[in-house]
């Protein structure tokens, strides 16, 4: 395998790692805002939190769609996703061994 192929593969892996981190962060933000909305007694604060919650939901959807379109996240095919995850684990284990 040539250096260009290695660079492309490394770039895709890096992009997937970043996108996965963003997706996890977006999911956490949705949960945090949802809890905060239910905990506040102030209508003004609730309004701001709902706005932020809606933005977090939109961010999550955008990141997930990017990952789906780029074969980083197989949301509609669990078998394919499990295979993809297994391959990532195996690659990681290879890196650890070296």
Domain boundaries in the chain? Answer: 3-97
Q: What is the pLDDT of residue 90?
A: 86
Q: What is the pLDDT of residue 48?
A: 98
pTM of the model: 0.76
Query: Any residues with CB less than 8 A from the CB of 13 and at least 6 apart, and which?
Result: 91
Spans of the chain, pLDDT less than 50: none
Q: What is the pLDDT of residue 84?
A: 87
Q: Please give the C-alpha separations between residue 68 and each of 15, 77, 80, in angstroms, as whole numbers.
A: 13, 11, 12
């Amino acid at each position: 395998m040539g250096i260009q192929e290695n660079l492309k593969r490394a770039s895709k892996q890096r992009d997937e790692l970043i996108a996965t981190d963003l997706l996890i962060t977006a999911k956490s933000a949705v949960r945090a805002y949802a809890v905060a909305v239910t905990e506040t007694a102030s209508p003004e604060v609730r309004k701001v939190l709902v706005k932020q919650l809606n933005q977090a939901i939109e961010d999550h959807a955008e990141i997930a769609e990017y990952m789906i379109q780029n074969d980083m996240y197989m949301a509609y095919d669990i078998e394919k996703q499990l295979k993809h995850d297994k391959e990532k684990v195996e690659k990681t284990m290879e890196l650890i061994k070296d």
